[in-house]
Amino acid sequence: MIGLTIGQLGKATDTKVETVRYYERIGLLAAPGRTSANYRAYGADHLSRLSFIRRARDLGFSLDQVRALLDLASDHSRDCGSVDMLANEHMADIDRKLADLTALRRELSALINSCKGGTISQCRIVEALAPRG
Amino acid sequence: MIGLTIGQLGKATDTKVETVRYYERIGLLAAPGRTSANYRAYGADHLSRLSFIRRARDLGFSLDQVRALLDLASDHSRDCGSVDMLANEHMADIDRKLADLTALRRELSALINSCKGGTISQCRIVEALAPRG
DNA sequence: CTTGACCCTGTAGTTGCTACAGGGTGCATA
DNA sequence: TATGCACCCTGTAGCAACTACAGGGTCAAG
């Protein structure tokens, strides 16, 4: 028990206080002990777990994926294949998003290049958006 | 007045019925007339406006951006520079997201490659996520 | 002893829908 | 005529992942 306040924990993990409480509410972070004034008092275990959560979130894992990762990580004797699988699935997600965004970018870029100025009534962007407008 | 039902309008624009009603609720699509049975009856103007909305959404514009585009597009004599600006801002957003995702992909890829199998306790992925875990 | 920064709970807002529940309508068919 | 089915209506609650209050209590410094 090192007795961090919620604000200190937040600062240490770059997490807003409300977010920490939110993680507690949804059962991702265990409820800590309380001081006599009913303040949350966090220990080293909370700090490391929240660090894990934030790092995984930064890498784009959903809260559900983070939960799964935490479950997997807690069993040290388990084969790490399942962790690898989760990471690879997430990688595939990212690749899909990249492809989508790239296609979008191309289309929007073509649209923007088609605009040669003038008034809205001649604007190719507006025209392209509303084919029968 | 061509008298489309909400279902027909939805089919024509590839929009779910609930989504059409949602657009009406938030004031993006004008409330149409009603039949004697209180069914919504849409006209050509609704069809073209909803087409515009859906196309812009497909291109990744937010509803707020769509609203702005619709406002701009309604004034035909206006210079189209403002439309161009909005499109360019959106393009910049896309580029930022692309850069973020690419960085993420690189980081995650490095993480995945570091895993050489074995148990969780030796797993570099878990290790990298929880530096002091 | 007061000011300000922190803490507490609980609830509602954000974005863009989606999914009911609990009803009414319209058309075809037996 | 009844009955079934697909469609329509309103209103509300849910999703992710927070964020932002409102309306209070606590604590340390000056």
The torsion angles phi and psi of A29, rounded to 5 degrees, stand at: -120, 130
The predicted pLDDT at position A75 comes to 82
A-B contacts at Cβ under 8 angstroms: 174
| Of A49-63, A107-121, B2-16, the least confident | A107-121
Residue A118 pLDDT exceeds 90: no
**Where are the domains positioned within chain A?**
1-62, 79-133
pLDDT tens across A3-25, in order?
899 999 999 999 999 999 999 99
B contacts of A47 (beta carbons < 8 Å): 132
Dmax (CA) for chain A in angstroms is 70
Q: What pLDDT is stored for residue A133 in this prediction?
A: 39
Helix, strand, coil percent content, chain A, rounded in steps of 5: 65, 5, 30
Tell me what pLDDT residue A32 has. Answer: 97
- pLDDT-derived band at A121 (thresholds 50, 70, 90) equals confident
pLDDT value for A126 = 82
Answer for A46: CB within 7 Å of strand C. Answer: no
In this prediction, residues A28-51 reach a mean pLDDT of 96
Torsion of CA B119, B123, B126, B130, to 10 degrees: 110
Show residues of chain A in contact with B49, CB under 8 Å. 130, 133
pLDDT at A112 over 50: yes
Amino acid B114 reads S
CA distance A63 to chain B (A): 14
Interface test with A, best of B126, B127, B132 (most A CBs within 10 A): B126
Query: What ipTM was estimated for this complex?
Result: 0.84
Query: Are residues A9 and A46 in contact, defined by beta-carbon separation less than 8 angstroms?
Result: yes
User: For position B133, what pLDDT does the model report?
Assistant: 39
Alpha carbon distance B102, B96 (integer Å): 10
Q: Report, as ranges of residue numbers, the positions in chain B whose pLDDT lies below 70.
A: 1, 131-133
Distance CA A126, CA A128 (A): 5
- A48: exposed, middle or buried (C-beta count within 10 Å: 0-12, 13-18, 19+)? middle
Is the domain spanning B1-78 CATH 1.10.3720.10? The answer is no
CATH class for the domain made up of A1-62:
mainly alpha
